Amino acid sequence: MTKRDWLQKSTVTVLLSTSLLLFAEGGHAAAAQTVNSQSSAKSEAIVTLAKGLVGKDYKYGATGPNSFGSAGLATYVFKQVGIQVDDTIAELYKAGEKVSPSQIQEGDLLFFSSNGKGAPSFMGIFVGNGQYIYASQSEDAVVVKKLSDYSKKLVGARRFLAAGSGTNPDSGKSDSGTATIGEKVIAAGKKYLETPYEYASTRANKKTMDCSEFTMWAYLDGANIDMGKGGAQSQAKYVKAHGSYTTDINKLKKGDLVFFMSYKGWKESDYKNIDISKQSITHVGIYMGDGKLLQTFSKESGGVKITDFKGTHWEWRFIMGGRPY
């Protein structure tokens, strides 16, 4: 939910407590608008999670986190945002709110059969832009497909987003108590505090880590997003290809990956007149909010730790930041 939507919700609450008559005449419309905003926030989270699972293995009846069956993918994703749904295609097809093909929205479940008739035999999650994601038996993986290529096989759509679901901007959690993706990544990363630093560490174990191995595990553990085993530059490319990014330090969000140039000194003046566009990315960390970073960068510093961001050389070395989803 945006700040504007939250303020609107607060305004509606005040009106409700002040005047029952005012609520009767106009509050219902305002409340409906708030619900729509909240549902939109939760559908966005569903889409984000589904995209992060593309490439995972297919396994009949599996419900994650490393392999999925057709229904199990939906069960897993919805559970992450606090929505409990059944784990079979037949039961899911009977539940939820029926949606016409012309009214499909992000987060809706789509059901298909091989001939476009009768009971569905496979299903997926609509993620917008005319695409849906599903666990494909024939391709042995979670894949993205164009809905237009399967329109003749579509037998129905269902919506499971409950009224009032969504994200509370003050707490950073959904109304059901489910942590946001960024918070999950940060929580996963904190489990590695004080893990020793090792340059070019192996990805085979978690005994030591360099900067990009740490962020790799934080996103794998916290959000089930696999960015590969490459370094900071590779992760930056992954963010640009699969997620969203910014070069404005003030637009960073909790859990964002933050990318930096090489160290050139501890003073702000050491970074003046530098063309950032020509600087190579040499380091990555995780933005925690409140001017803090979760990162690892040297043996001497004590391994994975929480450091200050604003007003330090980290701020002046900043190149870009973003999320890989």
pLDDT digits (tens, 9 = 90+) for 111-134: 999 999 899 999 999 999 899 999
| 144 and 50 within one domain | yes
pLDDT per residue as tens digits for the range 26-64: 444 443 444 444 456 778 889 999 999 999 999 998 988
Position 46: which residue type? I
Predicted pLDDT at 34:
41
- Quick check: bond before 324 cis, omega within 30? no
| 263 and 120 within one domain | no
Token code pair at residue 307: 């450091």
| 72 and 202 within one domain | no
Residue 106 lies in a domain: yes
pLDDT per residue as tens digits for the range 73-93: 999 999 888 888 888 898 899
For 265, list phi and psi in degrees, rounded to 5: 145, 165
Measure the CA–CA gap between 256 and 248, rounded to whole angstroms: 12
State which of 113, 129, 159 marks the end of a domain.
159
Measure the CA–CA gap between 150 and 307, rounded to whole angstroms: 50
CATH number at residue 90: 3.90.1720.10
| 185 and 154 within one domain | no
Predicted pLDDT at 160:
87
State which of 97, 129, 159 marks the end of a domain.
159
- What would the mean pLDDT of 249-263 be, rounded to a whole number? 95
For 254, list phi and psi in degrees, rounded to 5: -55, 130
- What would the mean pLDDT of 94-107 be, rounded to a whole number? 88
Residue 194: left if φ>0, alpha if ψ -120 to 50, beta else—which one? Answer: left
| 155 and 33 within one domain | yes
Predicted pLDDT at 103:
87
Query: How many structural domains compose the chain?
Result: 2
State which of 111, 127, 159 marks the end of a domain.
159
Of 49, 47, 7, nearest to 30 (Cα)?
7
Name the more confident of 29 and 298. Answer: 298
Name the more confident of 168 and 139. Answer: 139
Residue 171 lies in a domain: no
pTM of the model: 0.52
- What would the mean pLDDT of 217-243 be, rounded to a whole number? 92
Residue 164 lies in a domain: no
| 184 and 155 within one domain | no
| 186 and 150 within one domain | no
Residue 20 lies in a domain: yes
Predicted pLDDT at 40:
67
For 154, list phi and psi in degrees, rounded to 5: -70, 125
| 211 and 138 within one domain | no
Residue 173 lies in a domain: no
Place of tokens 């419900």: 63
Token code pair at residue 135: 């666990």
| 30 and 148 within one domain | yes
Cα dihedral value 256, 257, 263, 268, nearest 10? -20
| 102 and 192 within one domain | no
Measure the CA–CA gap between 109 and 97, rounded to whole angstroms: 10
Contact present, 196 and 190 (Cβ < 8 Å): no
Of 197, 260, 189, nearest to 220 (Cα)?
189
Q: Domain containing 201: what range?
A: 179-323
Residue 290 lies in a domain: yes
**Is pLDDT of 223 > 90?**
no
Report the mean per-residue pLDDT for the chain: 83
Measure the CA–CA gap between 94 and 123, rounded to whole angstroms: 13
| 217 and 109 within one domain | no
What letters, b where the CB count within 10 A reaches 16 and e where it falls short, cover 113-149?
eeeeeeebebbbbbbeeebbbbbbeeeebbbebebee
- What would the mean pLDDT of 293-319 be, rounded to a whole number? 96
Residue 174 lies in a domain: no
Token code pair at residue 54: 């593309």
Helix (H) or strand (E) holding 132: strand 131-136
Measured in whole angstroms, how far is the alpha carbon of residue 29 from the centre of its chain? 30
Predicted pLDDT at 4:
41
| 187 and 130 within one domain | no
Predicted pLDDT at 139:
95
Residue 165 lies in a domain: no
